[in-house]
Every structure is written in structure tokens, then in C-alpha cells.
Amino acid sequence: MKVNVIPALLGFVCLAFVGTGIAARQATPRQLPPPVPAGTAPKPDPTKPYVYRKISDRFYVIAEIHQPYPVDEVNNPPHTQQMGLIIGTKRAAIIDTGLGLADLRKYVAQFTDLPVIALSTHGHLDHVGANQLFDEAYVGKEDEQTALSSNRAGRLRGYSGFMEGNTAMIEAATKSMVDDKPIKYNFVKDGDKIDLGGIEIEVIGFPGHTPGSVAYVERQHKVAFTGDSMLFRVLLSNREKLAQWTESVKNFAAKTKDITTIVNGHQWEPFHQSDIAEELALSDAIMQRKITGASKVILNSPRMIYTLGSKRIGLSDDK
Ligand SMILES: [Zn+2]
């Protein structure tokens, strides 16, 4: 009997050990760099193109860090390119990929070994810059051409604009910015559900900032990603787009009453439900012509900027 029991016990101990190892590996895939401590804002550092905050073992917010932009704008928070990394059991998704300041695919490999798909909130070059590094890429169909027209020279120009004369950071970006690669887009639309294995991302259409803008919602963690569609300063073409965007905000609000964290495209601190109401109040004040705007050049284009509380909306063509 003894002869049989000991190998059986040994086998059990070995299995238990292996089992613990697997569980540990799933919970903490690798030794990660330290996250940005809660309550602090990351600072631009040419040696660290990416920083992150942890929401759970399966959910991270990653950001390229810039500087307050434009530097002369009052109460402007540090400018970031915010991304979400959501890890399922079958695959992972990265929501937006910034300007492609460095090898984001390699950075993400610290968090997961799974295939990673890139989901874009819209086609602007500061949101799709590293899409070409991932296994698949998705964008709203109406934004396909905008996304395809993104290239390294444009992304570098965009970065230099955001950094406004910060030569150390611009020089670092000139070396580290990822190259272009041919890319074929798949499309997302309102109502789509993207299954990552045990975790699901919903798509909410959000036309306004661009025709193909969407928001992504993950209800387990109560988090939404809105790209530039909800932001401290929303840029829109004209009053027609303002009306369209306002309907999108109302639709988003109705579908996200359970959401507590709204990660926008360029701000480290997330929005909450109260920010949705502030965006709508500003939109209403502009449409009812209750407030006047101030003309300002942003991203090389003159815009009429309207401000209410901490929110701003910029119209390119304000008639
Ligand atoms: Zn944009």
C-alpha cells in the first residue's frame, strides 16, 4: 500500500503546484512596470513613452503622455493619448493606439501573451497611430479613409504640435515613432458586441466629432471609452455637427447609466456621469445662442471656442 500511496501523494502535490502556477500566471502575467500612483498625474518623460493605471488584472488604462496643450490655455490638464487594454480568456483588445510614439505592441506584451485586436474610437491619426502593429484593426466604416491616411510624418507633425517646442520630447519621438505598415480595416458599428472570452465590449455609435466615431463600453468594470467624443474640449466642424453630436451624447447617456468611469481620449483623469450633463448644458447654451465664443487657433486651425464650467466646444465653421 505504502508504495502506491506515496507516488499518488507526490503526484497530487505536483499537480497542485502546477495548478497554482497557472492561476498565478493568469492573474499576473509578467513583472509589470509600476503603475502611475492613484491621485497623481504622470509627467512627460522621453525615456517612458507609455504609462498605465490598473483597473483590474484584466483591465488597464495606458497613455502616451504629452504636456498641457495648448500651453497657454487656462486650466488645461496634461494632454495624453488614452488607451484601454482589456484582456479576455481568448484574446485582448486595445482601444485606440495613440500616435504610435513607440512600440506599443511590445509594451502591451508585458500584460498579455494573447492575440490583441485594435479597436479605434475614430480615424484621427492620434488614435490609430500604432494599429498596424496589432493582429486585427477595427474602425467605424465612415472613418476608414481618415484612418488609412494616417502616416508617420503626419503623426510626428501632430506630436510636435501637441508638444509645442519641447525639443527633448520631439527628438525622442523622431527616433521612437513606429513606422507605417499596410493595414486592412474591419468595421465596427452601433450595437456590435465584441467577445474577448469572459468579457465583452459593446459598441455605441457616436457620430459628430467624426462621422464614424464610436464609444466602447465594458459593463463588468463599468467603464466606457469615448475617444474625442467626450472630452474637456470637443472639436466639431459646424453647428450641424454640433446638433448631431448632441443627439449622440443623449443616446450614449441613455445607454450608459450603469457606467461610472468614462475614459476620454486625452485626459488622464476620467469623466463621470456628471460630465455628460455638463457637455449637454454647454451644447444647449451654444445652440440657443446663450453664450458667445472666443476665436482661437487650435491644431493650426482657427476655431470658435465656447466655454461653460470645465467644458469647451470648438467649432471650425460657426455660422
Ligand atoms: Zn479626434
Q: Nearest Cα to 266, choosing from 234, 223, 294?
A: 234
Whether residue 285 is contained in a domain is answered as no
228 CA → ligand 1 middle, Å = 5
pLDDT in tens, 129-183: 999 999 999 999 999 999 999 999 999 998 888 887 788 888 888 999 999 999 9
Residue 53 has pLDDT above 70, yes or no: yes
Q: Residue 210 belongs to what domain range?
A: 31-231+259-270
> Could you tell me the CATH number of the domain that includes residue 121?
3.60.15.10
Q: Nearest Cα to 143, choosing from 128, 159, 158?
A: 128
Whether residue 146 is contained in a domain is answered as yes
Report the pLDDT value the prediction gives residue 70, as an integer from 0 to 100.
58
209 CA → ligand 1 middle, Å = 7
Instruction: Quote the percentage of the chain above a pLDDT of 90.
Output: 70
d(CA 189, CA 272): 24
Whether residue 287 is contained in a domain is answered as no
Whether residue 278 is contained in a domain is answered as no
pTM of the model: 0.88
Residue 77's pLDDT band, with cuts at 50, 70 and 90, is low
88 CA → ligand 1 middle, Å = 27
319 CA → ligand 1 middle, Å = 22
DSSP structure class, residue 220: T
Report the pLDDT value the prediction gives residue 68, as an integer from 0 to 100.
59
Which whole number is the average pLDDT over 50-55?
93
142 CA → ligand 1 middle, Å = 14
Residue 39 has pLDDT above 70, yes or no: yes
140 CA → ligand 1 middle, Å = 13
Residue 301's pLDDT band, with cuts at 50, 70 and 90, is confident
The grid cell for 58 is 484584466
* Pairing outcome for strands 223-227 and 214-218: antiparallel
- Domains contained in the chain, number: 1
Residue 200's pLDDT band, with cuts at 50, 70 and 90, is very high
Which whole number is the average pLDDT over 213-239?
96
Residue 11 has pLDDT above 50, yes or no: no
Whether residue 214 is contained in a domain is answered as yes
Whether residue 236 is contained in a domain is answered as no
122 CA → ligand 1 middle, Å = 7
Give me the chain's average pLDDT, please: 88
68 CA → ligand 1 middle, Å = 17
236 CA → ligand 1 middle, Å = 9
d(CA 254, CA 20): 43
3-state helix, strand, coil in the chain (%, to 5): 30, 30, 40
229 CA → ligand 1 middle, Å = 8
Report the pLDDT value the prediction gives residue 67, as an integer from 0 to 100.
66
DSSP code per residue over 48-88 = -SEEEEEEETTEEEEEEEEEESSTTSTTPPEEEEEEEEEE-
Report the pLDDT value the prediction gives residue 148, as an integer from 0 to 100.
98
Residue 281 has pLDDT above 80, yes or no: yes
Q: H or E stretch including 226?
A: strand 223-227
124 CA → ligand 1 middle, Å = 5
DSSP code per residue over 258-308 = T--EEEETTBSSPB-HHHHHHHHHHHHHHHTT-S--EEEEETTEEEEEEEE
Whether residue 13 is contained in a domain is answered as no
CB atoms closer than 10 angstroms to residue 192: 16
Report the pLDDT value the prediction gives residue 73, as an integer from 0 to 100.
58
CB atoms closer than 10 angstroms to residue 44: 21
111 CA → ligand 1 middle, Å = 27
129 CA → ligand 1 middle, Å = 12
Whether residue 314 is contained in a domain is answered as no
- Of 97-101, 145-149, 209-213, 265-269, minimum mean pLDDT range: 265-269
The grid cell for 175 is 527616433
pLDDT in tens, 15-28: 333 333 344 344 45
Q: Give the residue with greater pLDDT, 248 vs 268.
A: 248
Q: H or E stretch including 19?
A: helix 2-27
Report the pLDDT value the prediction gives residue 69, as an integer from 0 to 100.
60
